[in-house]
Amino acid sequence: MKKVTKKVGKYEVGRTIGEGTFAKVKFARKTETGESVAMKVLAKSTILKHRMVEQIKREISIMKIVRHPNIVRLHEVLSSRTKIYIILEFVTGGELFDKIVHQGKLSEHESRRYFQQLIDAVSHCHSKGVYHRDLKPENLLLDSYGNLKVSDFGLSALPRQGVGLLHTTCGTPNYVAPEVLGNQGYDGAAADVWSCGVILFVIMAGYLPFDETDLPTLYGKINAAKFSCPVWFSHGAKSLIHKILDPNPKTRIRIEGIRKDPWFRKNYAPVEHREDEEINLDDVCAVFDDIEEQYVAEQSESIEGGPLIMNAFEMITLSQGLNLSALFDRRQDYVKRQTRFVSRKPAKAIISNVEVVAESMSLKVHTRGYKTRLEGISANRTGQFAVVLEVFEVAPSLFMVDVRKAAGDTLEYHKFYKNFCAKLENIIWKPTEGMANSSLLRTMTC
């Protein structure tokens, strides 16, 4: 049995809840208060190798500057000899993207509420001179109360003093403003407003206004703002979307105009926000001024053996309170970028089956202990597709397999997961009715 106790400063570190090319995000708990946080872990060697010091420092600094109820909060930054730890607010409601995929489209009332919160957050960023540049539903999270939280400021920009236009082409193609695709320089505020308009269209329609398989055709439609609204859009919604998706950034409606729009103003209640907290970037400077210094003691005790044991506290946060059915019923969360299933097969047998199925799907397999990374080329052959699976023991002879997207398109991941699980039906355990909420709960509270 492998039992791991890991601490970073005053935080107890748990499972990995997200994984990308340059960083992992882990669930963590503040030992003094029990508060849940998300810990973004970056290896210093990777940052140095890819010359990302300034980019990461900028992202962290921006997140400390833009403190707002509708923006994921950065609590602090810590460092060890080899790693940097970004401590973030733990947001439990998933991505807005997941909700759209699950429901198809949202009601006009609900869409307007999310859009109002998005505009409030973006307006706050712009008031601080920050331009997000990668606004899309996958970067919009929902908290436990259903409030929107803007995340992922990795491509954000703070224009240099005296420089009015931005010049870097970045963001996700379907959400990018036409002027960003050119090489003439662009106004970051106007470009963000365009992305907000695409998001509003997507959450109300359930599909993209500009969506083509080849980039030249896609760019042509974006440059011409060639789209049409579905018949169920109200006149007010159509009018506002057309004002936002204006290909000319000089005549495109600005945020102050959006806030005055009759459709936008319906049931609009601006969030109360006080800015009496002093912003201090000393910890950011301390981490990056000498990237090789050791600032935080990191302790890890480990005994080799089986897969990691997931404790009760982690399972409760994983399954959103004491409703444990999400752990067992794959129908409830098949649309998310992080999914899971339960098995009564031995952990080694689970890994073996995963490897066999992955190879039959022409995926490259990299296994280390009870964690496997699967890699392939995305369906449209535009980049890499990668998935990470990790086995946890949740009770004697009961294992949870955590599956999460590491690279590639989220919709493609949804299709992969459904197909992958169909091929693993022989190892997936389906409890009888009532067991999901009772037997595991008794195990957790023993």
Token reading at 136: 């899309």
Helix (H, G, I), strand (E, B) or coil at 340: strand
Which helix (H) or strand (E) segment is 251 a member of? none
Q: 406: which residues sit within 8 A by CB, 6+ positions away?
A: 19, 20, 21, 373, 386, 387, 388
Instruction: Check whether 238 is labelled as a binding-site residue.
Output: no
Token reading at 115: 């859009």
Q: Tokens 């963590």 correspond to what residue?
A: 28
Which helix (H) or strand (E) segment is 299 a member of? strand 298-302
Q: Annotated catalytic residue: which of 134, 187, 402, 409?
A: 134
**Over the range 97-116, which residues count as b (16 or more CB within 10 Å of their CB) and which as e?**
bbbbbeeebbebeebbbbbb
Q: What is the rounded distance in angstroms from the CA atom of residue 192 to the CA atom of residue 166? A: 12
134 is catalytic: yes
Q: How far is CA 86 from CA 76, 342, 372, in A?
A: 6, 31, 25
Q: What is the rounded distance in angstroms from the CA atom of residue 445 to the CA atom of residue 329? A: 21
* E-only strand ranges, 209-317: 298-302, 308-309
**What is the sign, positive or negative, of the torsion defined by CA atoms of 356, 361, 362, 363?**
negative
Residue numbering of the annotated binding site? 49
Give the residue numbers marked as catalytic: 134
Binding-site positions for ATP read 49
